[in-house]
Structure 1
Amino acid sequence: MTEYNPKLATWFRNEPNTEAGINNIQVPGRAENIVWQTRHREPSRYEDALVAHLEAVFATGVVGLDELVGALNARGSRTEASALWSADSFQAEMARLGY
């Protein structure tokens, strides 16, 4: 596998060209940046809460799956069906949410 994209243009100048299509997909400064361009809906309250719990747990230095699941359960995080997390349920949920 190549470690870079050989089709990308090499920059020969310090400033990119300002015309769309020449080293740019859009004209710089004129494109509307839409937040969350790749998702089909806003996150649910359950998903937002799960993210908050995950951020808090990861901030403590947790990296292992079993430790993560235990920390989520200790914080009161539950599955969407209100069940305690297990390694299997967490992995299944991450696969589902990651589509």
Structure 2
Amino acid sequence: MQHITDFNPWLPDTQQVSPAREGGNGQIHQPGQFQNVIWQTRARVPDGFETALVAALEEIFEQGAEELEQIVSALNQRRLFDRSGQPWNEAAFREFLHVNGF
């Protein structure tokens, strides 16, 4: 039995500032060349910031937040700021989601 990793090692690191305009044709799967791994769209394991953000967002949604303003406010109240340590605003959070695909 082969070990299955929790990310797709053949994907390029997508830590780019702006999202790509085209898909990664040939990057996710090339028939017959790679094992079909479970985490097809993940080039790496999420880091601590991403894991904390996802956990906080789950709690925020469970508490009933639905609007972007509520989500941003709740993140800032938890002091879970952006990667540079700055409080979130709606535009910055929207851009983060657009680039990172969450």
Shift of 1:44: 1.0
Which of the two has higher C-alpha Rg? 1
Matched residues in 1 for 2:58 and 2:37: separation?
Answer: 24
Aligned pairs, number: 68
Shift of 1:76: 1.4
The corresponding residue for 2:99 is: 96
Larger RCO of the pair (alpha carbons < 8 Å, separation 6+): 2
Verify: 1:67 aligned to 2:67, yes or no. no
Give the TM-score of the pair, scaled to structure 2: 0.61
Give the TM-score of the pair, scaled to structure 1: 0.63
> Following superposition, which runs of at least 4 residues in structure 1 exceed 2 angstroms of deviation?
32-35
Cα shift readout 1:19-52 (whole Å, capped 9, x = no counterpart):
xxxxxxxxxxxxx984422211111111111101
The corresponding residue for 2:3 is: none
2:70 is paired with a residue whose SS is helix
Residue segments in structure 1 that go unaligned for 5+ positions in a row: 1-31
Q: 1:51 aligns with which of 28, 51, 54?
A: 54
